[in-house]
Structure 1
Amino acid sequence: MKSVLGPAAVLAVLLLAWEVLHLAVANTGLPSPLATLMQLVVLLGEAEFWAHASQTAQAFAAAVVLSTVGGIALGILLGMNRTAGTVSEPILVNLYSLPKVTLYPVVLLIFGLGISARIAFGIMHGMIPLTLFTMNAILQMKPVYRRSAAVMGLTPWQTSVSVVLPAILPEVITGARLGVSLCLLGVLIGEMFASRNGLGYMVMHAMERGDMPTVLAVALLLAIVALLVNAALLALDRAWRH
């Protein structure tokens, strides 16, 4: 019960704050929660909306798969070698702190305005955090795991798959929760600045028209999707830990 009441209370406070802010601006710049929900219902009935949503979903799914596989693989590769992990950690941290917008011209030059650029934007945001989580989990793992693998004569590949990865899976899932959310953010930003379709493009186009109900309706839908994905990963994390 407590696990349900907590999020419900937070949601109620957010909705109340939204309504108060809506009333404070005299209904001119911020639609109410009810008006936003009604606009979302209208959008869900439009074929154009689903065409944009389909483009975003494809790019998001590809970015999540590639960043997850790449992040775990790179994290294991660096974490299995302590020297490589120690040297690469500050490099990855500094690379991730670099404003991604500075790399957009390069990405556009390489991938153009198609779905590949949006996938690349998603991977840029989601892969490094998962790599860091995976690598640090291995570096902090109890030495007995790898010693036992060495005694059994396992190859590095067998050790990584059958010993190391199961041992650090909770940390990997935690990193994946962060990476998935950041992948969605990266894809949407890519659509805003480097695309002619997708929900990010739809939001940017609505902002140019001053269509705040549509902007908030799409933002609400994306928030719901992000929360559902995060909740699913959190449930998986809790199931594995128990």
Structure 2
Amino acid sequence: MRNALGTAVVFVVLLLAWEALHLVVANSSLPSPGTTLVQLVALFGDPDFWKHASQTSQAFAVAVVLSTAGGIALGVLLGMNRVAGTVAEPILVNLYSLPKVTLYPVVLLIFGLGISARIAFGIMHGLIPLTLFTMNAILQMKPVYRRSAAVMGLTPWQTSLTVVLPAILPEVITGARLGVSLCLLGVLIGEMFASRNGLGYMVMHAMERGDMPTVLAVALLLAIVALLLNAVLLMLDRAWRH
């Protein structure tokens, strides 16, 4: 109840700040929350909007699945070998700090202009954070878990699945929460730079036309989707901890 009340208060404050900013600047530059909501409802009745949303949803879903599976697998592989994990951590951190936009020409050369490039760009954003969360959780795990697995004669594969992953699952879910949001960001950026469909392309096209209500309506929708996904993962995290 307390969390729900806090969320409602934050939401109301953000709406009031949005409305105040709308009154300060020119109306054409920043639509009001009401205008944005009306535009969002109008988009729901536009068949072209659902075509763009479908393209983004497909790329996002594939990117999330691949980055989650790859991030957990790579994190476990590096975490189970302390030397490999220690060497890999600064490399991964430096790779993640690189502006992903600079790598987009390389992605286009490899994957072309289709949905594969957007999926790859989403994976580039979501894979490394989850890998780091998983790897560091294993490196910081109490040694007694792995010692118990060794006493029971478990193989490294069995140890990873039955001992290590259950022990670090809260940290993995935390990494997944960050990775999912970053995957969505990566897919949208990919659509903005080299695509003729998707919500990212729709936003860029609206910006070129000066259609700010559409830009903010799509941004609002994406923010709601990201918050809902994060809330679901947070519920899973709390359920596992309790």
Percentage identity across paired residues of the two chains: 87
Q: Deviations over 1:137-186 (max 9, x none)?
A: 00000000000000000000000000000000000000000000000000
Q: Does 1:23 align with 2:23?
A: yes
Normalised TM-score (structure 2): 0.99
Partner of 1:58: 58
Partner of 1:154: 154
Maintained 8 Å contact 1:56/1:198: yes
Distance in structure 1 (CA, Å) of the matches to 2:224 and 2:98: 28
Partner of 1:200: 200
Distance in structure 1 (CA, Å) of the matches to 2:201 and 2:237: 34
Gapped regions of structure 2 (runs ≥ 5)? none
Matches within 5 A, 1:109-188: 109-188=109-188
Maintained 8 Å contact 2:121/2:186: yes
Gapped regions of structure 1 (runs ≥ 5)? none
Distance in structure 2 (CA, Å) of the matches to 1:194 and 1:233: 31
Poorly superposed stretches of 4+, deviation over 4 Å: none
Q: Deviations over 1:8-59 (max 9, x none)?
A: 1111110000000000013121000000000000000110000000000000
Offset of 1:194 from its aligned partner?
Answer: 1.6
Q: Residue type matched to 1:105 in 2? A: P
Q: Does 1:227 align with 2:224?
A: no
Distance in structure 2 (CA, Å) of the matches to 1:157 and 1:48: 47
Partner of 1:215: 215
Maintained 8 Å contact 1:113/1:196: no
Partner of 2:35: 35
Q: Deviations over 1:174-205 (max 9, x none)?
A: 00000000000000000000211000000000
Partner SS, residue 218 of structure 1:
helix
Q: Deviations over 1:88-137 (max 9, x none)?
A: 00000000000101100000000111000000000000000000000000
Distance in structure 2 (CA, Å) of the matches to 1:8 and 1:165: 35
Distance in structure 2 (CA, Å) of the matches to 1:138 and 1:47: 47
Q: Residue type matched to 2:59 in 1? A: A
Q: What is the CA RMSD across the aligned residues, in angstroms?
A: 0.4
Offset of 1:206 from its aligned partner?
Answer: 0.3
Partner of 2:191: 191
Maintained 8 Å contact 2:75/2:130: yes
Partner SS, residue 154 of structure 2:
coil
Distance in structure 1 (CA, Å) of the matches to 2:101 and 2:29: 28
Partner of 2:90: 90
Partner SS, residue 103 of structure 2:
helix
Maintained 8 Å contact 2:28/2:212: no
Distance in structure 2 (CA, Å) of the matches to 1:11 and 1:127: 30
Number of residues paired by the alignment? Answer: 242
Partner SS, residue 163 of structure 2:
helix
Structure 1, 185-194 or 23-32: larger mean CA deviation: 23-32
Offset of 1:66 from its aligned partner?
Answer: 0.1
